Amino acid sequence: MKPDSTARQLSSTPPSPHAGPPQPGMRPAGPPLPGRYKRYATWMIFIVVLVACSIHTDATPYQLIVGLPEMGKLLGEMFPPDWSYLPTIWKPMLETIQIAIVGTTLGAILAIPVALLCAYNVMPRKLISLPMRTILNLVRTIPDLLFASIFVAVFGIGPFAGMLALLFFSFGIIAKLTFEAIEAIDPGPLEAMTAVGASRIQVIAFGVVPQALPYFVSYLLYTFEVNVRAASVLGLVGAGGIGLLLDRSLGLFRYDRTSIIILLTLVIVLAIDYGSNLLRRKLL
């Protein structure tokens, strides 16, 4: 037998259970000690931070135990739902979906040129791409409810303020995800088109768009799902939609009506989610 084959057999042989305790000076099995201590220290820091945050925010198990009886009373008042209230909420629910459709579509259209200007492989000039990214970060910093409150103060109570809020919200999300998808596309076709003398517009139209379009549509559908949920609560600040009736039913302690609003919203969101998943599977 060759020496190297003998060495491979010895190295692959499992240790015998009768080998006895490790001898002094022998390193025990398992990860290296510095790595193990680092892992323990990371978990300790995480637990300390979690406990400190829970104490400072009163988010303790005691608060949950104290609130459970009240939660049970609320659920008891929500059921059975007031089914006679269903015809009243159809129109506001339809308005909610319309707000989400218009806000998402307009936000996605505005996101296309901004995403192209933010992607370094399309716009290598950082004097343009960096300010555009800064604007995107600023837009994404503001939550949709704050946008709705601002637009209600400017344009008054109604669905237009809610549509504008979802427009800016959609613009920030879709532009951010799309320019990251553009930067991850295959650079081969772009380099080949540039080598044969294609213009910048031709490279974008025939090299970038075909690769990034499925991701863009997928992000648009995902944002639409999120916006339907968000539009359901924009009415709490006066931005139209089903949220106005939700706020009214909560104010009148008609939790049986609140439950029928929640159930209808759930059914619509599930239907949109199912349709979006089907489209995404075909696109990606």
158: left (phi over 0), alpha (psi -120 to 50) or beta: left
Residues 105-126 have pLDDT tens digits of 999 999 999 999 998 888 888 8
For tokens 């739902």, name the residue. Answer: 81
pLDDT of residue 28: 53
* Domains of the chain, earliest start first: 86-283 (1.10.3720.10)
Confidence of residue 5 (pLDDT cuts 50, 70, 90): very low
Q: Is the pLDDT of residue 13 over 50?
A: no
Q: How far apart are CA 223 and CA 154, in angstroms?
A: 25
Single out the residue of 76, 87, 103 nearest to residue 264, CA to CA: 87
Residues 162-185 have pLDDT tens digits of 899 999 999 999 999 999 999 988
Confidence of residue 33 (pLDDT cuts 50, 70, 90): low
Q: Is the pLDDT of residue 3 over 70?
A: no
- What is the arithmetic mean of pLDDT over 63-74? 83
Single out the residue of 138, 135, 97 nearest to residue 234, CA to CA: 97
pLDDT of residue 248: 85
Radius of gyration of the chain measured on its C-alpha atoms: 28
Is the whole-model pTM more than 0.85? Answer: no
Neighbours of 177 (CB within 10 A): 19
Mean pLDDT in the chain? Answer: 82
Q: Is the pLDDT of residue 11 over 60?
A: no
Minimum mean pLDDT range among 22-26, 62-66, 184-188: 22-26
